[in-house]
Amino acid sequence: MKSAFLKKVRDAIRKKHYSIKTETTYLYWITYYIRHHGLQHPSKLGTKDIRSFLDYLSLKQNVAPGTQKIALNAIVFMYKHVLLIDPGDFSDYHKATGPKKLPVVLTRDEVRLLLQQLSGPAFLCAGLMYGSGLRVMETVRLRISDIEIDRLTVRVRDGKGRKSRFTTLAPDLVEHIEHQFNYIKSQYEIDKSRDWDGVYLPNALEKKYPSAPFEWGWQYLFAAEHYSIDPRSGKKRRHHIAEQTVQRSIRQAIQKAGITKPASCHSLRHSFATHLLENGADIRTVQEQLGHSDVRTTEIYTHVLNRGGSAVRSPMTGIIS
């Protein structure tokens, strides 16, 4: 990284233990912000400059609300944690708007047809997204110890908003998970006999527990076939499979199943929530399962059904014949 300032930004992000994906995104938007203002140093830019940039994204670039929010978060991070400056009040900026879209929800038959087109890790990933309501990145980041078969529980570490939670595990997936355990176990035994630096651990846990990267429970459930070099530490590791790999498999399965809805991996999570409501789960329970901070986010699924009930039974039950 050529810019001394951007290197300082990167160091501040890593000090907060943010993911590489967040690091890349923040650096992109901070660079965009600086270039938009003629390469002026951000310390010379203030509230009106932040407001004008956000207005530009909304009015000239027509970005989506979520994109504008990410740009805002990156800029505020830069001012607060790098420049150590209060960015001031720019709350009157023009907020990006977009059409309110209802989630794409698959029927149970469509989920069944989709799953029939998949096998191996792709099938299990799809099963966890639908059966446990996981996001695609939450799925590929699962560790061996995150799956508790006896309790039929899945632990999600550092989900969206860096929140962790527990969600239900479908009994129908247990056999498939045990098969995946065995596969990763054989891979793990080979790794231990080679020149290998262990698995990546978040939040500097490796410094606190030096042996943890080599322990079975910390290995990824969906480990990659090949080693890669950690871009931060330079260590040789076996990372998890890429989310794009899962997305590609799901997209192809949707086409093969003849599903005409504009569905994606996230549609499986939407279907999980909607079908839970149909099974009688109350909105608060679904909120907890999905990891939403605000119940209003979860209420979008009540366009299908809204009735009482407190028991959580995964909608995966009965899907796999």
Q: Which is the catalytic residue, given 238, 239, 269, 275?
A: 269
Q: Is 51 annotated in the active site? A: no
CA 307 to mean position of chain CA atoms = 29
214 has a pLDDT exceeding 80: yes
Burial of 280 by CB count in 10 Å (0-12 exposed, 13-18 middle, 19+ buried)?
Answer: middle
The residue whose two tokens read 């929010």 is 69
Q: Is 56 annotated in the active site? A: no
Query: 4-82, which class in CATH?
Result: mainly alpha
Q: Is 266 annotated in the active site? A: yes
Predicted model pTM: 0.80
Looking at per-residue confidence, does 67 or 304 come out higher? 67
Among 33-42, 190-199, 275-284, the range with the most confident prediction by mean pLDDT is 33-42
Q: Which is the catalytic residue, given 33, 93, 200, 301?
A: 301
Q: Is 10 annotated in the active site? A: no
Mean pLDDT for the stretch of residues 149-172: 89
Domain 108-303 = CATH 1.10.443.10: yes
The amino acid at residue 69 is K
What integer best gives the mean pLDDT of the chain?
A: 90
Mean pLDDT for the stretch of residues 16-23: 88
In DSSP terms, 104 is beta-bridged to none
Q: Which is the catalytic residue, given 15, 16, 160, 248?
A: 160
Positive or negative torsion for Cα 289, 295, 296, 299: positive
Extents of the domains making up the chain: 4-82, 108-303
Q: Which is the catalytic residue, given 8, 37, 162, 266?
A: 266
pLDDT per residue as tens digits for the range 229-278 = 988 888 999 999 999 999 999 999 999 999 999 999 999 999 999 999 88
Provide long-range contacts, Cβ within 8 A and 24+ apart, for 163-166.
163/291, 163/293, 165/288, 165/289, 165/291
Q: Is 157 annotated in the active site? A: no
Q: Is 135 annotated in the active site? A: yes
